[in-house]
Structures are given as C-alpha cells and as structure tokens.
Structure 1
Amino acid sequence: MRAVGLRLTVSSLFWSFLTRGRIRRKGPRDYLLYRTILACTMDDPLMWGFLPLKYQFGLSSSNRRWGLASHDICYQTRPLALFFTMGQLLPTHRSAHSQYGGIAQPAVTQAIRLLSKGPFAPEPHLALPERQSWSLQNVCVDPFSDLPTAYTTDGHDSHLAPSAFACNSYSWVHIFPEGKIHQAPSKTMRYFKWGVARLILEASECPDVVPIWLEGFDHVMHESREFPRFLPRPGKEVSVTFGQKVDTDAVFGEYRSRWEKLKVKAEKAAPETRDLPLGALNDELLYGAEAVQLRKEVTKKVRDLVLEVRRSRGLSDEDPKAGLVETWMEEGPKREGKMADESWVRDV
C-alpha cells in the first residue's frame, strides 16, 4: 500500500473482526466467504495490504484467500496462467466472452468444494490424461503428483484442482459478485451474479459470510484516467469496511433447507443423478424454475448484506431497482466506458 502512496482508512469493524480471530483458521470448520464490490483493477491486490505483516507472512498458503479471475484476460499465456494460479485464482469464463461461461462452469464447482470438507477428485471436469503431467506447455498442474489432480475448464486446457488437496478444506474464498468494474459517482452497485448463491446453497456446510464495502479505489485507477493508464494514482484515500460476520443459520438456513428439498425432488425424478459429486448438478437443479428463483432470492439477500455495510458509511439508500438484472438491461448493448448514468464500466 505504501508503495503507491495510498492513505488507508480501515473501519473499526475490521479490528473487532480481527480480534475475534477470524483471519486465522483455529478449527477444522473455520472458513470464510467474503463478498466485495469491484471498483477497479487494483481492488484485490491492494485491499489485503492493510493486514498486519504477521498476517501476510504468518499464514500458510492454504489459509490465504482464493478468488475467481477472468479466463480471457488472466489465462491467455503460460506465464500469465502460472502467475495467477500461484496467486490462488480460479480461471473463470465470462458468458460475454466465452461459450464456457455460466453458473455451471468448473471454477464455480471448485469454489464450492473449497468451502467444503475435501479432498475431492476433479470429476466431472477431469482434464485429459496427457494434460495431467507438468511440461513447459502444461505449467498449471502439480509436477510432483502421480494422481490426476488437474481439471479442465473447456475440455482442452488443464489447471490444478485446489479442492483435490485436503489442506484446502474449508478455505477462505473472496469474490466480487458484480462481475465487472463499476465506478458510480453515487457509489451504487450493479446487480449481483446469481452464481454467488451456489456457493452458499451447495457447500457441504454453510460458510461464514463477511460482507465488505470498498471506497476510494476508483480514484486510484479510474477508468477515465489518461496516460500512464497502467500506473495507480498516488495520494488517494481509500477505505475498507468489514461488516459483521453473518448469522448464517438465521439468514441462510431456510434457503439451504429449500435447496435440500429441491435436490431430493430432482434426484427422485432422475435417480441416475443421485450420486453426482459435490458441485455437479443435473439440468433441473441448474435451470429449473424453482432452482433459479431460489438463487435469485439468495443473491438478493447477499446484496442486501453488502448494502447494510454501505449504509454504515453514511451513504443514502439505493433505488431498489438497482439490484435487478432488468434494470441494467436498459443500458443497451454498450458493455464498457461511460454510461448514461455517469458511471464507468469495464468488463474485467
């Protein structure tokens, strides 16, 4: 953080959160799911810079955050793929850029399994046998394993499946539910992607959920910036506000109960799908009306939790329509740049 001259304001909520010991895994079920808005390309690398140094160097790699990264940006070359794999990011296809996108893709399956008790075999997304071994052309796999631990996102590539290792059970997963950069003068949010609901509904046990609100990061790397665009702007004040850990039983218990009933119903109608591994669903559970409606409700609840943290920063309430997909469809076909509402959007 000091390297780019940022002034960091951390909400006191964080310190109470830290003293409760939630950064360190103290037990076998001490796992986390963070939800954050995405304000610029620097959000993820910068926001964890406020952690005391003992948390930067005192955590094993298996207890550092996992996240999702755009396949079409971060995994286009072998050096980039290796870099982001080492950074504990899962290659995620975006539907606007790939036919392999959507809530059923392997990256979502891996995220669900990381929040659960492992290890898990890479099925049903097992990479081809020739892509299981390390080579200069195949750098994102375990060079020391004789077991098949690589999965594929498109039937051709291969990536190490972190959920194949027991040490990654009940991991810390951090996601940006908007799925793209959104810089609004009014500090409003876009709709959240429905895939976030899968992580809550399908993990073997409901993960702890901590909502986060970021401010000021858009000034560090604003989309309207001119040359040199690749450099963050120094001297900006940013804040990272952590909400309280959610009472998951009270907030999500009823949703998970409904999901289990849906599973029983769907598996009764299609018995051959009863033994699908965790994170793999039949078509009814992926695209059926009841399943889709349940995901919408859970996603709205998650967004409401982030809005509560936003409200704690003294910001006025959003228009309720801001959380609806239909509202943002009115933007038209334009996907990036300055929008009619004065916000800036970038599809990353």
Structure 2
Amino acid sequence: MCVEYANSCSIYGLNSELQNIFKNRKKSILTVCNHMSCMDDPLLWGSLDYSQLFSKNGPRWSGAANEICFSNLFTRLYFYLNRAVPIIRGGGIDQPGINFLIDRINDGSWVHVFPEGRVNDTNDYVRFKWGIGRIIKEATVNIDIIPIWHCGFQNILPNKTPYFPRFGKKTLVYYGKPISTITLKNKLKEYNKLTITDYIQNEMYMLKKKATSIFDKIT
C-alpha cells in the first residue's frame, strides 16, 4: 500500500490485544477515526496485516459521502465493491445508510465511521455527528469500539488540486484502547445518542493529543 511502501508510517497502540480483536472477530467491531484526506480509508488500513483485514465476515464496511463517492457509475461500482455505504450529508441519522451499518454491526461485522462527517484537513475541533451515537445505541450485540487518530495523511493526498498522491511523507497511526458497549453503559448515567457521541468524541480528542504530540516530534 502507498502508506506502507512509498511513505513512512509510525504505528502506536496496536498491541497484541487489539491485533487479536481484529484477527479473531469474536465480537462486532466499530472503528472510529478522524478524517483528513480522501485517502484516509485505504491508507489507514495499511497499518494492519491481511489476516486482520480479511478475517471472519470479511473486511470493514464504511460510510462514504454519497455526493462524492457515488456520483457516477465508475465510482459507485468501485466503492460498492469496497464495502462503502452511501451516506447523504444533511440526510439525518435515520437514513438508509446508517440503518445498513447498524444491521452489519448486529450481524457481527466490522464497521468503520468518520464521525466528523467531512474531511477536516486543518485539524480543527469538529463536533461529532450523532450517527455514531445511534449506531452504538441501537446495537443489539456487545461491540468493541476502537478509536484511532492518524496524522499526516493530508500530506499524501492534499484536499486541493492537483489530486494525485505524494510520496516520501511521514505519517502516524495511533490506536486507542478498545471500549466495549458494556463498559460504556456502566460509565454513562444516561445511555442515549447524545451522551454516547459526547463520550466517543472526548476519547478521540484525548487520543488526538497523544498522537499529535508524537507526530510533531518526528516531523
């Protein structure tokens, strides 16, 4: 993959526990990460090996912007084949794409989401969308929620013309500790879409501090 061979990637937090979660898939998995580039999804999973990517129930399902990723026949075919699900921006949290991802969680699959809801290449604070809260709230099975923060992907494919990959860039992927929905229910006084979204957002921004602190030192 581009991030693995043409660029350098430092990986943190991917301990034996997390590797086994990805490989064995004893529970549904919900991975959550920041969104800095249109290449985030393929670049990010270069940090896992094939046994972790293509374990039980296959690779991840992921939400993708309908107006960008499904705008013509070629892109629709490409993203459908890569298990991307159209999400309509401004379509609310009860739209078919979110329903589909909830169904995949409940059948034991791995789902990935970008809760910022858009590319945020300036690394600004962005309020997370409630869709992630709904996915977790309506799961009927126990989930391993895995927060991930990455740095530098926007330098490989900047969100501006010309749109082609750059090489020789440094990147970083930081895996946070997995959070089970059972643990989440015990920690939250009220278990609803808003409180769940806020909790995941706080976990992500704490992870961001760790990741950016390291990344600033190596670049």
TM-score w.r.t. the length of structure 2 is 0.87
Indicate the residue corresponding to 2:143 in structure 1: 207
Alignment of 1:113-128 (within 5 A): 113-116=103-106
Name the aligned partner's letter for residue 211 of structure 2.
R
State whether residues 173 and 211 of structure 2, in contact with CA within 8 Å, keep that contact through their aligned partners in structure 1.
no
1:176 equivalent among 105, 110, 114: 114
Tell whether the 8 Å contact from 1:70 to 1:92 is kept in structure 2 after alignment. yes
Task: Report the alpha carbon displacement of residue 94 of structure 1 after superposing the two structures with TM.
Answer: 1.1
Between the aligned partners of 1:313 and 1:76, the Cα distance in structure 2 is 34
1:83 CA drift (Å) = 1.6
Give percent identity, aligned residues only: 27
Q: Which amino acid aligns with 1:308?
A: M
Distance 1:308 1:35 in 2: 14
Residues 40 and 2 of structure 1: is their aligned pair in 2 closer, same or farther, counting only changes over 3 Å? closer
1:225-257 deviation digits (Å, cap 9, x = unpaired): x4xx221111110111100111432323465x8
Mapped contact 2:86–2:97 kept (Cα < 8 A): yes
Paired residues of 1:17 and 1:244 also in contact (CA < 8 A): no
1:140 aligns to what?
A: none
Q: Take 1:182 and 1:175, find their aligned partners in 2: how far apart are those partners? A: 14
Counterpart check, 1:78 vs 2:78: no
Q: 1:140-219, aligned counterparts within 5 Å?
A: 169-184=107-122, 187-219=123-155
Structure 2 vs 1, CA of residues 2 and 102 (structure 1 numbering), >3 Å: closer, same or farther?
closer
Find the counterpart in structure 2 of residue 59 from structure 1.
55
Determine if contact 1:208/1:246 at 8 Å carries over to the other structure: yes
Structure of higher CA gyration radius: 1
1:50 aligns with 2:47: yes
2:41 is equivalent to residue 40 of structure 1: no
Q: Which amino acid aligns with 2:6?
A: G
Alignment of 1:182-331 (within 5 A): 182-184=120-122, 187-224=123-160, 226=161, 229-253=162-186, 294-313=192-211, 315=213
2:14 counterpart letter in structure 1: F
Give deviations 1:198-226, integer Å, cap 9, x for gaps: 011111124211100010111112235x4
Mapped partners of 1:114, 1:26: distance in 2:
13
Counterpart for residue 6 of structure 1: 7
Task: Return closer, same or farther for 1:254/1:242 CA change in 2, 3 Å cut-off.
Answer: closer
CA offsets 1:20-48 (integer angstroms, 9 cap, x no match): x1112353xx1100110000111001110
Instruction: Check conservation: 2:150, 2:211, Cα contact below 8 A.
Output: no
Distance 1:2 1:217, change over 3 A: closer
Q: What amino acid does structure 1 have at the position aligned with 2:48?
A: L
Cα distance in structure 2, aligned partners of 1:196 and 1:34: 10
1:302 to partner: Cα distance: 0.7
Q: Which has the higher contact order (CA 8 A, sep 6+)?
A: 2
Cα distance in 2 for partners of 1:71, 1:86 equals 15
Match of 2:93 among 99, 103, 119: 103
Q: Give the number of equivalent residue pairs.
A: 213
Q: For 2:8, give the aligned amino acid.
A: R
